[in-house]
Structure 1
Amino acid sequence: MNKKIAIIGSGFSALAASCYLAKDGNQVTIYEKNDTIGGRARQLKKQGFTFDIGPTWYWMPDVFERFFADFNKTPSDFYTLEKLNPAYSVYFGKDDYITIEDTIDKIYAAFEAEEPGSSESLKTFIDNAKNNYDVAIKDLVYRPGVSPLELITPVTIKKINQFLSTIKRDVRKAFKNDRLAQILEFPVLFLGAKPSNTPSFYSFMNYADFGIGTFHPKQGMYEVILAIENLALSPGVEIKTNAAVKKINVDTKGTATNLLINGESVPCDIILSGADYHHSETLLDIKHRQYSEKYWSKKTFAPSSLLFYVGFDKKLKNVNHHTLFFDVDFEAHAKDIYDNPQWPENPLFYASFPSITDDSAAPSGKEAGIFLIPLAPGIEDTEEIRVQYFEKIIKRFENLTSQNVEESIIFKESFCVNDFIKDYNSYKGNAYGMANTLLQTAFLRPKLKSKKVENLYFTGQLTVPGPGVPPALISGKLVAGLIKKHHSN
């Protein structure tokens, strides 16, 4: 192959695809609308503090290893990875929490301490989750979603019931203790749907959590972006920032021919969009779009988020690098996201304090805090609402962790629905794509290759395999493979 390929966006999937496409001998240029690369995985630096704006969890290290191995590299060639212990803690009330440590045996012990006999149930559950992980992450997710036959293997036929049941049903059947059940239901939230709408097969997320563990790249997730950029630049990928694409032009034969960028026409042989899929199609004339507005409106999207990046002038107590706050009704909050979209009265929230692990995240003696409230995409977003919700969660945070922190805030920055739309052209301001429900899995997701326009492709969290950083890397590999297949002479 020796094609001129234009890539829209510079998130994980776009960057990953650029590496494979350049390796295949193509002339690749990335066009990024913002002034820094990384898409949702950008950084915020302020007053000596450093925050990952987007992803903060490093799960499935084997997927990263497999990606770098494709280029005869390892993650350690670019960044230092540390396994977190504890992985995270979950608050259920004031001074009342369960800690998930760094080995499965410690986790069995934590479950047994909470509910005698539960460790045996957990062993059975995790054994099945590991089996699913081996099937999914080592095989199924590396298929391009072209045909339903991709899902039919001797192994998956035996697991058909796991596509018909749900995570919630399986967890609640095996665990009567509500606190333990909530911990087991938590990982699938990364897939963007309620546990009651997520197929049982996705229990492989529990193996990623308990069986493999949670890691942190020294200096933050942005180091992974910089590593992939390094890989991309080596074979000659060109990256242009402040380059917003306004139009994908298609000739009379139905072939994508050029991009309109900053008032100039940029000709290319192949166009790959790693930007939001819905937005990417709006860059086409209506007749060339595969999916209507009605199609998108009926899909289940992953939540949006209200995020706060907070600098504290002291070290905080009674928290871990990752800390979850499940002290309110999960079902009520979930309904406000998926069933009746509105601001939740009592939201669950998540907090990350990277400076507990990583000295580079905050000045000495200070703490960097990231707070996240999952929200329905598309709801009203105003500064007044943001302020109101920060007060809600910070007061609960102080009470639950038995400390005063509000007067120790040096600054706080917020990011919400309007920002996801402005910065990433995100559909309804969703934070991480389209949910992996049964009817939005594999070949049922938007396609990597346009069905209406020749030489136009898509990658990222709205197509296969789905939401999350590891799937984004895989998506980049899948689309590059598809392009190579269709354009090799």
Structure 2
Amino acid sequence: MIGESERIVVIGGGIAGLATSALLARDGHRVTLLEARDELGGRAGRWERHGFRFDTGPSWYLMPEVFDHFFRLFGTSAAEQLDLVRLDPGYRVYADGYADPVDLRPTRAENVALFESIEPGAGAALERYLDSAESAYDIARRRFLYTNFDDPRNLLAGEVLRQAGRLAKLLATPLDRFAAHAVRDRRLRQVLGYPAVFLGSSPDATPAMYHLMSHMDLEQGVFYPQGGFSALIDRITAIAEGAGVDIVTGARVEAIELSGDARPAVAGARFLDATGRSVVAPAHRVVSAADLHHTETQLLPRAVQTYPEEWWRRRTSGPGAVLAMLGVRGEVPGLEHHTLFFTEDWGRNFGAIFGSDPHVPDPASFYVCMPSATDPTVAPAGDTNLFILVPVPADPAIGRGGLDGAGDRLVEETADRAIARIAEATGVDDLAARIVVRRTVGPADFAEDLNSWQGGALGPAHTLRQSAFLRGTNRSRKIEGLYYAGGSSVPGIGLPMCLISAENVLKRVRGDRSAGPIAEPEASDAVGAAGSGAVADAAHA
């Protein structure tokens, strides 16, 4: 245990809230987690109907060392907790204007050969690109991700200063231009540029620093945890419970309670419990892993908001999304576990989402996950589970989804167009007729169900002015003892980033100003000074 045991309330039961709770409890604190919904996971939820089971959000397992590091902090490992499958191919790409799809492979050597087969010279170019990506990822992980940027000496380290010129160039160059310098073939440029969407941005607005993402999917490979991402949430929930976290679901937080006048401090969180009764959970510290905009503008008085509404008016949201969860009778040949559909005119596509006249793009680039290709538990035998994500503007006016086509018009039409494009590409002409389960989700669902800023699906976009220390800070500047975690805070979007955000909150509480991951404990004291020997056992239960 580091320091004195305190009572800490964590708001939000997504992966960031669960991980933050577990880490703080591991340090000996008395932690209560409050989740508004009846289920845990946040965006990483699950939904089941008629034998089909869907992950409702994240579906790419990247940055495996981040997950493994988190588990090792509790004396276990990702290999022990999860049944991970390395996908081959990692994903498939259908690009408009080309007859055949492109399959991205699980290893660097295979992808170098693939690039070379499509464009002579592109193999060597990819080698250089991935060398640069790996170097950028390595320095980012050690200096820019596991840090709160509260010690300038971390940014003045020799390795940072030696690469300062290169890093500055990567920050000043858009990702799409950087990719275009490497390869000419449009499909290959799109493969190198599409990671911007994982970061809630567009390739022309994302700094080339994020080409480090290509190290993950083209060199480390893409993985899938059998049982789906809800299995990952289950494992982290078990670890949190084993560490002693008191998890309360059906607890909708209405306000963060404060004490003091000159320098307000947190006193707890007031919430409505499952019976509608108003309850105050007292706390020395509060960590909000809920949407940052909602936390600041709805749970705090205006005078003590670090990020008031006017701050958000100067920020850029990541995209909204139309989701479609489809249970299909029979198989859908032509799709892989992950399949991407790219439009020919990318500028027009992203302009519709992020431009001055935002609207649902048509045609649209979109993503399809078919986990039944890998996991027999997500669909009845012989049938297909499809999850479609179409990036759209972050605008609740696009509407809500629904069951069996009962969602709002724009949402259902967007889903229908994606289904038709899949049928065209795969030659499965009767795809729509074979759908027996259908649920759609729109931006208004994200706004109403997850309190998501502007109905965005991911969080603030990773543009230059919304990356690293420019993204904000994970503690209130006006309230003592208030911290933030999750994809709408720092370091950013994605499940691995949420795990890192949890560790950075732990550093805040400890007063740890270091950069890089926290040292993993020896096996003998892996559960920390709290002495909860049940942690590892509960994680396996």
- Structure 2 distance, partners of 1:395, 1:192, is 25
Aligned position for 1:397: 422
Aligned position for 1:301: 317
Query: 1:403 Cα shift?
Result: 1.3
Aligned position for 2:113: 109
Aligned position for 1:83: 86
Matches within 5 A, 1:142-291: 142-146=146-150, 150-157=154-161, 158=163, 159=166, 160-253=168-261, 254-262=264-272, 263-281=278-296, 282-291=298-307
Matches within 5 A, 1:340-489: 340=356, 341-382=358-399, 383-404=408-429, 405-485=431-511
The 1:132–1:407 alpha-carbon spacing in structure 2 relative to 1, beyond 3 Å, is same
Does 1:9 find its partner at 2:12?
yes
Query: TM-score w.r.t. structure 2 length?
Result: 0.88
Q: Per-residue displacement from partner, 1:3-40 (whole Å, max 9, x unpaired)?
A: 11010001111111111100111000100001100111
- Structure 2 distance, partners of 1:143, 1:419, is 33
The 1:188–1:147 alpha-carbon spacing in structure 2 relative to 1, beyond 3 Å, is farther
- Structure 2 distance, partners of 1:436, 1:6, is 28
**Count of aligned pairs between the two proteins:** 487
Query: 1:77 Cα shift?
Result: 2.2
2:355 to 331, 339, 343: 339
The 1:334–1:327 alpha-carbon spacing in structure 2 relative to 1, beyond 3 Å, is closer
- Structure 1 distance, partners of 2:421, 2:23, is 47
Higher deviation after alignment, 364-373 or 337-346: 337-346
- Structure 2 distance, partners of 1:162, 1:192, is 18
Does 1:100 find its partner at 2:104?
yes
Query: SS in structure 2 opposite 1:5?
Result: strand
- State whether residues 323 and 415 of structure 2, in contact with CA within 8 Å, keep that contact through their aligned partners in structure 1: no
The 1:50–1:5 alpha-carbon spacing in structure 2 relative to 1, beyond 3 Å, is same
Query: 1:177 Cα shift?
Result: 1.3
- Structure 2 distance, partners of 1:54, 1:148, is 36
- State whether residues 50 and 437 of structure 2, in contact with CA within 8 Å, keep that contact through their aligned partners in structure 1: no
Q: Per-residue displacement from partner, 1:359-402 (whole Å, max 9, x unpaired)?
A: 01101010000011001112522311122112211111111111
Query: 1:247 Cα shift?
Result: 0.9
Q: Which amino acid aligns with 2:338?
A: H
2:343 to 312, 327, 333: 327
- State whether residues 328 and 347 of structure 1, in contact with CA within 8 Å, keep that contact through their aligned partners in structure 2: no
- State whether residues 396 and 447 of structure 2, in contact with CA within 8 Å, keep that contact through their aligned partners in structure 1: no
Query: SS in structure 2 opposite 1:418?
Result: helix
Q: Which amino acid aligns with 2:294?
A: H
- State whether residues 145 and 445 of structure 1, in contact with CA within 8 Å, keep that contact through their aligned partners in structure 2: no
Structure 1: which 5+ runs fail to align?
A: none
- State whether residues 7 and 30 of structure 2, in contact with CA within 8 Å, keep that contact through their aligned partners in structure 1: yes
Q: Which amino acid aligns with 2:423?
A: E
Q: Per-residue displacement from partner, 1:197-255 (whole Å, max 9, x unpaired)?
A: 22222111010111101000001011111111111111210101000000112123311
Higher deviation after alignment, 178-187 or 133-142: 133-142
The 1:148–1:181 alpha-carbon spacing in structure 2 relative to 1, beyond 3 Å, is farther
Does 1:135 find its partner at 2:111?
no
- Structure 1 distance, partners of 2:50, 2:149, is 45
1:123 to 123, 127, 134: 127
Does 1:47 find its partner at 2:50?
yes
Query: 1:140 Cα shift?
Result: 2.2
Query: SS in structure 2 opposite 1:298?
Result: coil
Q: Per-residue displacement from partner, 1:68-108 (whole Å, max 9, x unpaired)?
A: 11111101222200000000000014742111011111111
- State whether residues 445 and 462 of structure 1, in contact with CA within 8 Å, keep that contact through their aligned partners in structure 2: no
Does 1:38 find its partner at 2:41?
yes
- Structure 2 distance, partners of 1:338, 1:231, is 39
RMSD: 1.6
- Structure 2 distance, partners of 1:422, 1:150, is 40
Aligned position for 2:532: none
Query: SS in structure 1 opposite 2:101?
Result: strand
Query: SS in structure 1 opposite 2:448?
Result: helix
Higher deviation after alignment, 140-149 or 302-311: 140-149
1:316 to 332, 335, 354: 332
Query: 1:151 Cα shift?
Result: 3.7
Higher deviation after alignment, 306-315 or 108-117: 108-117
- Structure 1 distance, partners of 2:207, 2:25, is 37
Higher deviation after alignment, 457-466 or 359-368: 457-466
Does 1:58 find its partner at 2:75?
no
Calculate percent identity across the aligned residue pairs.
Answer: 33
Query: 1:167 Cα shift?
Result: 1.6
Q: Which amino acid aligns with 2:83?
A: T
Q: Per-residue displacement from partner, 1:255-286 (whole Å, max 9, x unpaired)?
A: 11121111122211111100000101121111
- State whether residues 145 and 444 of structure 1, in contact with CA within 8 Å, keep that contact through their aligned partners in structure 2: no
